[in-house]
Amino acid sequence: MQTPIYDSVVNAGGWVFQLFSPWTFWSVCPQPLIHRGSCTRDLRSYTGGPDPGAELISFTDMAECAYNSTNPTSMPNLRQDVANFLLIRGDYTWLGAAWGGCNIHYFRVPEMDFDYGVPLGYLKEGPTGVFTRQYTHFNVSMDCNSWTPSFIPIPSN
């Protein structure tokens, strides 16, 4: 649902956070696109391209809107979330955090700050349950069988 305010912002070349999918009008509580229990099925739905990919992916531990990020130990899947984001992201994306209350302190993992470069193709599966996507500076993968992400730097020439 659009509003005159959203239309004005977009027409001026700006963007409004709530316009990212899979968010709904004024929602601050999206459901994650990739779940641990259905990781293979969820990621498989993004393989093959040329799917435009996801514009935004929520952190799996924020899915229930408990705003657990004030306690870093309650967000054990940040590395998985970053890998899944990179595996399915589209051309125009944003990785960040929604408003989670006043005085919230977000936990960061080093993988949130790597320069991955640009994607060199789409998400691929092989072997079963292991998904990869190559970027100019990293190979990113998620092993859904063990819920283990990997970020392998590509040596520069």
pLDDT digits (tens, 9 = 90+) for 1-39: 457 777 788 788 876 666 655 544 444 455 567 888 999
- Cis peptide bond prior to 127, omega within 30° of 0: yes
Establish if 18 belongs to a structural domain: no
- In this prediction the pTM is 0.72
In a domain, residue 118? The reply is yes
* Residue 89: inside a domain: yes
Task: State the greatest distance between any 2 C-alpha atoms of the chain, in Å, as a whole number.
Answer: 50
Give the C-alpha separation, 43 to 33, whole Å: 9
**What band does 69 get if pLDDT is binned at 50, 70 and 90?**
very low
Q: Is residue 41 part of a domain?
A: yes
Is 99 domain-assigned?
Answer: yes
Rounded average pLDDT over 53-60: 54
Q: Is 56 within 8 Å of 92 (Cβ atoms)? A: no
DSSP 102: T
Domain assignment of residue 104, given as a range: 29-153
Rg (CA), the chain: 16
In a domain, 33, yes or no: yes
Per the prediction, the chain carries an average pLDDT of 75
Selected residue with higher pLDDT from 16 and 117: 117
Please state the domain count of the chain. 1
CA pair distance 101, 36, nearest whole angstrom = 26
**Vertex 28 angle, CA 11 and 150, to 5°:** 100
Residue 64 scores a pLDDT above 50: no
Tokens of 153: 């730097």
63: pLDDT confidence band, cut at 50, 70 and 90?
very low
Token pair belonging to 57? 């992916």
Enclosing H/E stretch for 79: helix 78-88
Q: Is 83 inside a domain boundary? A: yes
Return the pLDDT at 49: 63
Would you say residue 101 lies in a domain?
Answer: yes
- Does 110 have pLDDT greater than 80? yes
